[in-house]
């Protein structure tokens, strides 16, 4: 997806999520009832930031054009405003610090996920290296065995010729 269309999708997702949360914040019994919308809010904000940080593939004119830069900056500021608006609504509804707790838990889980993925990559690399070493060992063993059998056969043929059995 191009940065502009990613940003458009991101800002639309942010606005949709904020509208839903605004409509339902006073009727929900627990934060879990709006959790998917909060997740969408974070996803939309991330899309906006990615579009803003991503280099445009359309040439320097597209990337540095005033309209593109202005749109990216304004979208990022709008997303930040919407996030703060939701933070205030959540804190008012569920108590001071609730939003900060949500953000902290989200950061913690994302970090745990990144660490788990890194560990899985390290384990996969280690298994691949172990497999490669095993294959090398098998290859060397087969080669040594083949040479040994060849030398044994050659020795037997030489002995047989020497004893005039052949």
- SS3 for 86-104 is HHHHHHHHHCCCHHHHHHH
Q: Are 89 and 24 in contact (CB under 8 A)?
A: no
The two structure tokens encoding residue 27: 């009727």
Q: At 25, is the pLDDT very low, low, confident or very high (cuts 50, 70, 90)?
A: confident
| pLDDT (tens digit per residue) in 85-135 | 999 999 999 999 999 999 999 999 999 999 999 999 999 999 999 999 999
The predicted pLDDT at position 113 comes to 96
Query: What does the pLDDT average to over 74-89?
Result: 91
Helices (H) then strands (E): counts for the chain: 5, 0
Q: Are 87 and 94 in contact (CB under 8 A)?
A: no
| pLDDT (tens digit per residue) in 49-64 | 888 777 544 444 455 6
The predicted pLDDT at position 164 comes to 77
Percent of the chain whose predicted confidence (pLDDT) is above 90:
46
Q: In the predicted model, is pLDDT for residue 6 greater than 70?
A: no
Question: What number of other Cβ atoms are within 10 A of residue 163's Cβ?
Answer: 8
Q: Which is more confidently placed, 8 or 94? A: 94
Query: Which DSSP state fits 21?
Result: H
Query: What does the pLDDT average to over 9-26?
Result: 88
All structural domains of the chain with their residue ranges: 3-96
71 Cβ neighbours under 8 A, 6+ residues apart: 4, 7
């Amino acid at each position: 997806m191009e940065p502009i269309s990613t940003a458009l999708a991101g800002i639309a997702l942010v606005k949709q999520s904020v509208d839903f949360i605004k409509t339902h914040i006073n009727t929900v019994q627990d934060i879990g009832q709006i959790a998917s919308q909060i997740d969408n809010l974070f996803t939309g904000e991330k899309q906006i930031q990615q579009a803003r940080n991503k280099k445009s593939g359309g040439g320097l004119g597209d990337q540095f054009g005033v309209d593109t830069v202005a749109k990216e900056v304004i979208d990022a500021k709008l997303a930040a405003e919407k996030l703060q608006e939701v933070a205030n609504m959540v804190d008012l509804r569920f108590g001071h610090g609730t939003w900060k707790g949500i953000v902290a838990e989200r950061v913690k889980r994302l970090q745990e996920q990144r660490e788990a993925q890194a560990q899985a990559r390290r384990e996969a690399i280690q298994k691949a290296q172990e497999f490669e070493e095993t294959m090398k060992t098998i290859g060397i063993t087969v080669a040594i065995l083949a040479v040994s059998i060849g030398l044994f056969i050659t020795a037997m043929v030489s002995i047989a010729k020497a004893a005039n059995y052949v």
